[in-house]
Amino acid sequence: MSVIFEAKIKNKGQGAHDWFIELIDTVDNRIEICNNLEEFSVNIEKLGEDYGGNIDQVKWFQDENITEEQYSEINAGMRKYQEELNNDSNDR
């Protein structure tokens, strides 16, 4: 069984911070709403625990009305998060 999550960036306004991520576990269709990247990190870890932390893939999608500013904020935050994960795994 492949463990695939979907992360959908959704718009809730025009400001840079007016977005949320709908995180979907496609195995059992659980949905978590993440209002920031910290919540996304916590929720993806929580959902992944059911699979021993083994997530095969996260598929990213975004609403058509996501602004460039919103996308840039999320993208920069995810790059920082990924760097932190890589640094933590290299420390072991």
Query: Residues 45-69: pLDDT tens digits?
Result: 999 999 999 999 999 999 999 999 9
Separation CA 89–CA 7 (nearest Å):
23
Report which of 43, 37, 52, 36 is spatially closest to residue 5, judged by C-alpha positions.
43
| Total tally of structural domains belonging to the chain | 1
State which residues form the domain around 82: 4-90
Question: What is the residue-wise DSSP string for 49-71?
Answer: GGGTT---EEEEEE-TT--HHHH
Separation CA 8–CA 59 (nearest Å):
8
Single pTM value for the model: 0.86
Task: Report CA 75 to chain centroid distance, whole Å.
Answer: 10
Q: pLDDT per residue over 16-46, tens digit each?
A: 789 999 999 999 999 999 999 999 999 999 9
Calculate the alpha carbon distances from 35 to 28, 44, 82 in Å: 22, 13, 18
